[in-house]
Structure 1
Amino acid sequence: MSHDADQLLRTTLREPDPAVTLPPGLAAAAVRRGRRLRRRRRAAMVLGAVVAGATLVTPFLVLRPGPGHPVRPAGPDPAASAVPTATDSTAPKSRPAPAQWRSGPLTLPGGWTIVGATGTGEPVEPAIVLDRSRGRYVTVNGYDEVWAAPRGSFAAVFRYQRRAETGILDIGTGRVRWFRTGAHIMTPQWSPDGTRLLLTLDDKDNGTTAIGVLTAASGAVRRWPVDTQKYFCTDQCFFTWSRDGQQVVFQQTDPGGPLSESVRPRRRGLQLFSSGTGLPTRLVPVHGDAAGPYAWSPDGSLVVVQGQQQPELAETGTGRVRHQLPGADVYWGPDGRLLVLSREAGACSVGLMEPDGRLIESQDLPAELCAGRTPLFAPR
């Protein structure tokens, strides 16, 4: 999400104005992925592991903008303009960040908690993870990325000097096991049950992209190449989990739409693959990018996606857009309400919303989890 969209959400959380409409913005998750990808490119150049232009080999990565060229929102789309933006006329409850939060799981509105926060700045800040065996948050040093699982005691760790390997950290013991998975791009994702890690693998030598699934307990790695000519995708292309963890989701670009480095591509839909076999299953006719498993409603009938201009709530059966939302970085609880993350200048907060966009309550998050870090959420 852009700075303007972030500012609007934070303002709405505190001083809702029914006259305000939401400006176009990018999903915060995509922006953070872009920052991490640029850091990896720079680290790879230092090591001599990547030659200039190597990132253009894989077909669906050709149109990803380089450093200093962020994706800009498209101009007005007549179809999107016809969709009303949800507003709220009732002031939501607001809670400050707790002063003492490291001594136990941080309780958030809607039944969520924070399981960790990975460093995103330069230099990289030490990660923070929830150690369930001790019931408190601890600091993890020495890694470029640390992604805590939503359940259990595992975290995925990465060092850019070991680009082809993925480490699995046992948070309780501090032991790390390294597995050769191949270099990943974009953000890795844990399955909702915290047992499997999903990687978007990029093999520049062969010009292929693959689904990678690492089972944390055994270290078994399964890899399925994806035909990116048949399953065409451009700009910010990455694999995510479905709500139940049985499917892997991949964005599809509309081949008939304009392709530009300055405009987000129009999506044809979301292609689903089996997480057990890697085989394609079905295409969901939703025109946008889903950030992860909790972007899907519990019954699978709705999904929040980043559209060309705005985050949108869409019907998975028809692709029809219900309305726009202030952010695509969302977590859909079992009670049908959405937790939306907002970031602004080293600070962040969450807002609990109804699916129609009405804000119920908000809470500021501790500054340590936001400044130079990305907080990670999971159901309590």
Structure 2
Amino acid sequence: MTRIDSLRAGDPPRIGGYELAGRIGEGGQGSVFLATAPSGDQVAIKLLGSALTGGDDDPGPGFARESEILRRVAPFCTAQVIESGLLEDRPYIVSEYIDGPTLQQVVEGEGPLEGARLRRLAVGTLTALTAIHRAGVVHRDFKPSNVLLGRDGPRVIDFGIARALDAVATGSGVVGTPPYMAPEQLEGAQVEPPADLFAWGSTMVFAATGRPPFGMDSLPAIVNRILHRDPDLGLLRGDLRDLVAECLSKDAARRPTAGEALMRLLGARDRPVGFLLSAGSAAASGSPAPPHIPDSGDAPALSPGASRPPPGAGARSRARRRAAILGAGVTVALASGALVHALTRDGAPARPEATGPARPLPEVTSVPPPATTELRLPGLGTTLHENPGDTARMVSFMYDSKGGSNHYARVRGTNRFEAVAPWQEPLPSPDGTWLALLPWLKESTPQPYDFVRLVHVPSGREYIVRLTDKPLQNFNPAWSPDGTRLLLTTFDLSSGSRTPVGFAIVDAAAAKATLVRADTSGAPAAAPFAWSPGEPAVALPFGAGPRAGLRFFDLNGRTLRTADGVGEAAASESPFAPAGKRFATGCPGAFASVCVWDTATGRALARFRVPAQSAFIGWYNDAHVLLTDKSADPHKVVVMDMKGEVLRVLAEIPREEPGENRGTFLFHYMRWS
């Protein structure tokens, strides 16, 4: 929490309509107070020193004009400016109060940041600079003490105050903090947004190493290094190190913009991704529509009769949202054409075994062939046991932990995986034409809306598709069997938990999304929609216990029919077998068992027991299912028949011991068309 000191003798009791409650801090520009607004909300007030204005008899007009610009900055990872004014001859600025220490205090007291924590800081502060620059403001004094680490993430403060002071100052001089100042700033040139990127790079080095990249000794030595020496980047690694190095270029023209830097950290590539497509692929030819890059004024397309999502303060429960995203013990999913399984490495509690006879399905498809190849996933201890005749093969995976993020996609037609966008869930389309990239850490996305990135694999061109306004956010991506549309389940996260409200359908070729509201009453928390086979429709689990079932909808959200009393969803995305003639659920009134039903009639076809410590993933083919057996170390992905017998091990996943580095491992099994 922020330390609040008592007011001193001589401090005003009120500033404007705000009652002062204590002192937050003091610096060269003035004093910062905690105050209470007439509404009862807490605010921070920066009261600037009269000496900074040079004793101007009337500093008001210039200061008011410049400080008004600060109010235009969108409140994305910034402390929003509320108003400004004058207390006698001293200007003041009222802003949102952020309860949290500065980055300077955290690093000096706890040590450098690393892993996901450092990554979130980089993304959040770039988000702030993007919003600041978009409003036509240059920060000019970006540094660790101007970054607050609040409960909902990093917030940048004091942006643009230097320019506001310039409007009323009578003297001249360089404004800034030397270890974080750009070369052009030190030389007295006009300060533009690239100077903020230089300061951002220096601040990231401080966050990762505990010291700025050009030292902290004498001022002449620091200035000489900034102007003539290379920066010391310390332990920075990977794409963040590369980006920081570019931001610390002596030549301002060689630095990226804040928006470009942000999109790179969010996974945008500057190279084509054709490596995902082999030469013999049957991917569609031709070029898709021009890229659709939405701006803050765009709105997601809505189906007829649907209401626009309510605006909301998506930041107020980000910590709880992250827990909802990453904190579950086990999540399983089956997408149409792609099997998905997410597993947190701390395992899950066992369930009691079910009783009852196993009944095989009347027809049988080919038995899974024996494994002929062993393949180790890069960066993990997981081993795949594959056969070229497998009907489902792992095509992408991601592993996120405190130590970092690993996201890979298989090079089509090979046994090689290559890195793709970090911190995003990758899902290729069944024909390999498209790669969908869905942000995994939703609180790290800067926009007031959720989005998905689509990569047209043959050309390598990328498209950002806006989905829904926050707090509505989208999860559980699933491609249609023909690979032309992407289905996502839309959840309301305003309460801190995932409540389904409908679904979004993305037309890949048009790079457009449609939000469809539907009757989700009775749906379990975090329950996803799935493509319904044989018709342009989707299905959603509803209810609990013996009365649980499936509800079917057309693509306008109208209820078509229900399948009652078939049990709770066994897979968290699609329960349907590849041909669509049958689906699987947890057997009604039983544990550790799977029931198979006829999709058209709802007639029971089979029931079989599974290991108590297992998670149903989905279908290998129409007569065999995939499960994760967690009863031993390593965990195993296995193929099981309708009698409950394991026929084949597809993967071995070592279980990590509980600790700080455990994370979430998610992978996709794809049936390439």
> TM-score, normalised to structure 2's length?
0.39
SS in 2 for 1:339: strand
State the partner residue of 2:638: 351
One-letter code of the match for 1:322? R
SS in 2 for 1:233: coil
One-letter code of the match for 2:314? A
CA contact 1:304–1:314 (8 Å) conserved in 2: yes
State the partner residue of 2:452: 166
Distance in 1 between residues matched to 2:328 and 2:627, nearest whole Å: 27
State the partner residue of 1:238: 528
Deviation track 1:142-170 (CA, whole Å, cap 9, x = no partner) reads 33322233332322213333351111123
For residues 132-171 of structure 1, what are the structure 2 equivalents within 5 Å? 132=412, 136-159=416-439, 160=442, 161-162=444-445, 164-171=450-457
State the partner residue of 2:562: 283
Aligned partner (choices 569, 590, 596) of residue 314 of structure 1: 596
Question: Is residue 222 from structure 1 mapped to residue 487 from structure 2 by the alignment?
Answer: no
SS in 1 for 2:405: coil
From the superposition, tell whether residues 55 and 106 of structure 1 become closer, same or farther in structure 2 (CA, over 3 Å). same
Distance in 2 between residues matched to 1:73 and 1:155, nearest whole Å: 34
Distance in 2 between residues matched to 1:174 and 1:54, nearest whole Å: 35
Q: Report how far residue 310 of structure 1 moved.
A: 2.5
Q: Report how far residue 251 of structure 1 moved.
A: 1.0
State the partner residue of 1:325: 610
Spell out structure 1 runs of 4+ moving beyond 6 A: 53-56, 68-76, 205-208
CA contact 1:110–1:337 (8 Å) conserved in 2: no
Q: Report how far residue 136 of structure 1 moved.
A: 4.6
Distance in 1 between residues matched to 2:316 and 2:330, nearest whole Å: 22
For residues 8-157 of structure 1, what are the structure 2 equivalents within 5 Å? 45-46=152-153, 49-52=314-317, 81-84=354-357, 95=371, 98-99=374-375, 107=387, 110-132=390-412, 136-157=416-437
One-letter code of the match for 1:98? E
Where relative contact order (Cα < 8 A, 6+ residues apart) is larger, the structure is 1
State the partner residue of 1:339: 626
SS in 1 for 2:153: helix
Deviation track 1:116-164 (CA, whole Å, cap 9, x = no partner) reads 1133434552211134388853211333322233332322213333351
For these two proteins, the number of residue pairs brought into alignment is 309
Q: Report how far residue 372 of structure 1 moved.
A: 5.1
Give the fraction of aligned pairs with identical amino acids, expressed as a percent: 19
From the superposition, tell whether residues 251 and 340 of structure 1 become closer, same or farther in structure 2 (CA, over 3 Å). same
Aligned partner (choices 437, 455, 464) of residue 178 of structure 1: 464
| Structure 1: tracts of 5 or more residues without a match | 1-38, 57-63, 255-264
SS in 1 for 2:152: helix
SS in 1 for 2:643: coil
Q: Report how far residue 115 of structure 1 moved.
A: 1.7
CA contact 1:188–1:200 (8 Å) conserved in 2: yes
One-letter code of the match for 2:514? R
Deviation track 1:16-69 (CA, whole Å, cap 9, x = no partner) reads xxxxxxxxxxxxxxxxxxxxxxx9xxx99327733249989xxxxxxx899589
SS in 1 for 2:374: coil
Deviates more, 1:67-76 or 1:143-152: 67-76
| Bigger Rg, structure 1 or 2 | 2
Q: Report how far residue 303 of structure 1 moved.
A: 2.0
| Structure 2: tracts of 5 or more residues without a match | 1-119, 121-149, 155-312, 332-347, 361-367, 379-384, 655-661
From the superposition, tell whether residues 252 and 341 of structure 1 become closer, same or farther in structure 2 (CA, over 3 Å). same
Deviates more, 1:277-286 or 1:107-116: 107-116
Q: Report how far residue 283 of structure 1 moved.
A: 0.8
From the superposition, tell whether residues 280 and 358 of structure 1 become closer, same or farther in structure 2 (CA, over 3 Å). same
SS in 1 for 2:522: coil
State the partner residue of 1:258: none
CA contact 1:353–1:361 (8 Å) conserved in 2: yes
Aligned partner (choices 538, 549, 554) of residue 248 of structure 1: 538
Aligned partner (choices 273, 285, 290) of residue 553 of structure 2: 273
Q: Report how far residue 290 of structure 1 moved.
A: 4.7
Q: Report how far residue 223 of structure 1 moved.
A: 1.7
CA contact 2:541–2:550 (8 Å) conserved in 1: yes
From the superposition, tell whether residues 243 and 201 of structure 1 become closer, same or farther in structure 2 (CA, over 3 Å). same
Question: Is residue 360 from structure 1 mapped to residue 647 from structure 2 by the alignment?
Answer: yes
CA contact 1:131–1:172 (8 Å) conserved in 2: no
Deviates more, 1:288-297 or 1:265-274: 288-297
SS in 2 for 1:338: strand
Distance in 1 between residues matched to 2:416 and 2:534, nearest whole Å: 28
CA contact 2:606–2:642 (8 Å) conserved in 1: no
One-letter code of the match for 2:153? V
Distance in 2 between residues matched to 1:144 and 1:342, nearest whole Å: 26
State the partner residue of 2:488: 199
Distance in 2 between residues matched to 1:226 and 1:322, nearest whole Å: 31
Deviation track 1:331-370 (CA, whole Å, cap 9, x = no partner) reads 2415x33333446899554322222222222233587xx9
CA contact 2:636–2:650 (8 Å) conserved in 1: yes
One-letter code of the match for 2:646? L
Distance in 2 between residues matched to 1:101 and 1:356, nearest whole Å: 31
One-letter code of the match for 2:559? P
State the partner residue of 1:377: 669
From the superposition, tell whether residues 270 and 246 of structure 1 become closer, same or farther in structure 2 (CA, over 3 Å). same
CA contact 2:596–2:606 (8 Å) conserved in 1: yes
CA contact 1:202–1:209 (8 Å) conserved in 2: yes
